[in-house]
Amino acid sequence: MNNPIRQFKYALLICVALCFSLPAAAQEQLPPPTLLDIQDSYIRGEIELDEAVLEQFKVLFEPSNEHQIHKCATPALMFYKEHEQELAPITKEKVAALKQEAMASSLVEQSYISPSGKFEIFYHTSGSDSVSVVDEDGNGIPDYVDWAAESADSTYRHEVSNIGFTDPIPAGTRYNIYIINTGGAYGYTEQSSSGGPLTEIFIENDFEGFPPNTHPEGNVKGALYVTIAHEFKHAIQYQQNNWRSPSGAFNWAEMDATLMEEVVYDDVNDYYNYIKNDLNGSTPYFESIFYGPENGTPGAYWHVSWMIFFTEHFGNQIWKDAWQLIEDQNNLPLDEALTEVIPDYGEDFPTLFVRNHLWHFASGSRASLDSYGFEEKADYPYSNMEEELSMVPSQSLAVGDIKPLAARYYEIVPSSGDKGYVDVAVDFDSSQVGIGLLFYYEDGSVEEVISTGANKSQVYIPTEIYWEDISRLGIVIANFSNSTSSRELSLLMGKTGNAIPIRDPEFADLPKEIRVYQNYPNPFNPVTNIDFELPRVAEVKLEVYDLMGRKVQTLADGTFRLGAYSIPFDASGLASGTYLYRLQIDDMSFTKKMLLVK
């Protein structure tokens, strides 16, 4: 089934295109905007605050299209809370009226207490909010309610007991979960006015017509499970930082809650609907990192893979630590909290940011046969490239500016004429750049190389890998800053006969020209060293001859990268006398004499 948000946006584009020819009555059939569309319109200054609030609640509680699916309605409530003090009294009254009308059928409820005793599930067995009354286990409780209670207990064990997030359920109280007809939202979390826990959760009553998932017992059960995991994380967020921006803003909050779906229920994969166009397909959804890594993180549901990387790399303790920092400081976005806690794990954020994008690169059709990358990489979509080249270019490639927390991907398939060591450099405007290289070998394995730098004009990566030994090379150029764009970028690749001008100050001591030195010591007995310097990758052959022109020994023959070399020569089996050594570097030849004295 196609992504519901994608369906809406394509439908919107089509409707806009037809507006010029359709009558006014037909133009009124445009589908309603999403919550994110409305919030973005407010941020861009296109609508006023009160209108933005009312429009979001109309989308939720006056849905003109019952089939419009909202992954989560909590962002509308977060937005309301953030701006509550700025709203006109009449706006608050209208919001209250919308909510009261929508909840009118929910006044009479039955309830069931979960096995752990921590949750009370409120539900209906008749009316528009009714759950299925099927009770296969015969315990007198609808199976749908049993599933909700089991999911709530399991979610609590994972998110509070195991990971250690702050508990949103005060001792001696129960957390309320209401099963209702949400009007097209999976669910939402709202401030509670009943005392005890600060929030309460509302969950869809049947999930009919919602996107599919991979739960082995069906889509309905899978959707119910991950929705409770998702919404309970919103309850934890409220407990930890009261939904304050920036970590409480739409994108970070939804990425975080969607992550918990995968953590608690790995076999459901509802989030696949937000990273690719079809649950069983391979085409990336146009809001995902796979489709547009150049657009930058965060990105609500469709960037959850960015957070899954850190979970798989470190485990969930990293998020417990990051959210504890947010709770303590209350003004950090999630990426800044990560930047502060990652050194405690012995790593650095810039390198991990590049690796995160390398994992995205190595997914779908580019997944390796070894363990590198996401655990579910084969089921993820492929990533879009800036360029896919069938040979190593001799000229630099212009790279567009890179937004904060974004990247650009390239793929090189070397031709039969591409030889020598792989060298890569990126020139830029002295802001910050990370380079990730992913070498694909014929046996299906991969190898990564990462380098990052800031406040200089170039990041250069020399490697010990030959172009002729790989089937392809993936290149990620990333901007690990969350505030400053990287600009004036160009990508350079070296090979035999094509040297990169090296300006990276970390390689300032590299040779600037070819130098061949007299062997030392000279005279010698029986060992001497032949030294030379290379300013570029070159084919090198070093041979020793006697005065009659007969070759005595070959000391080196192959590709050498730039740098300084000292090749030993052991003449133990030779007679005293004068010998010649000839050093051939590409098309240049150098010959010198040396004297063996025994």
pLDDT for position 18: 30
Are 555 and 591 members of one domain?
yes
Q: Token digits for 34?
A: 């999403």
Are 519 and 565 members of one domain?
yes
What Cα–Cα distance (Å) separates residue 462 from each residue in 51, 141, 504? 56, 66, 11
Are 423 and 496 members of one domain?
yes
Q: Report the predicted TM-score, pTM, of the whole model to 2 decimal places.
A: 0.84
Show which of 500, 527, 545 is a domain's final residue. Answer: 500
- Over the stretch 19-78, which tens digit does the pLDDT of each residue have? 333 333 323 334 456 788 888 898 899 999 999 989 888 887 776 555 578 889 898 888
Are 535 and 569 members of one domain?
yes
Task: Report if residue 549 sits inside a domain.
Answer: yes
Residue pair 534/578 in contact by the 8 Å Cβ criterion = no
CATH of the domain at 399: 2.60.120.380
The domain in which residue 73 lies consists of 4-100
Exposure string over 301-319, b if 16+ CB within 10 A, otherwise e: bbbbbbbbbbbeebebebb
Domain count, the chain: 3
Are 519 and 433 members of one domain?
no
Show which of 100, 129, 162 is a domain's final residue. Answer: 100
Q: What percent of the chain has pLDDT over 90?
A: 73
- Over the stretch 554-568, which tens digit does the pLDDT of each residue have? 999 998 888 899 999
Residue pair 46/72 in contact by the 8 Å Cβ criterion = no
pLDDT for position 318: 97
Are 530 and 587 members of one domain?
yes
Show which of 476, 500, 524 is a domain's final residue. Answer: 500
- Over the stretch 114-166, which tens digit does the pLDDT of each residue have? 999 999 999 999 888 899 999 999 999 999 999 999 999 999 999 999 999 99
Band of the pLDDT at 81, cuts 50, 70, 90? Answer: confident
Are 399 and 456 members of one domain?
yes
CATH of the domain at 524: 2.60.40.1930
pLDDT for position 476: 98
Dist CA 145 CA 139 (whole Å): 11
- Over the stretch 173-203, which tens digit does the pLDDT of each residue have? 999 999 998 878 899 999 987 778 999 999 9
Are 26 and 53 members of one domain?
yes
Task: Report if residue 82 sits inside a domain.
Answer: yes
Task: Report if residue 35 sits inside a domain.
Answer: yes
Dist CA 174 CA 171 (whole Å): 8
Are 453 and 530 members of one domain?
no
Are 430 and 489 members of one domain?
yes
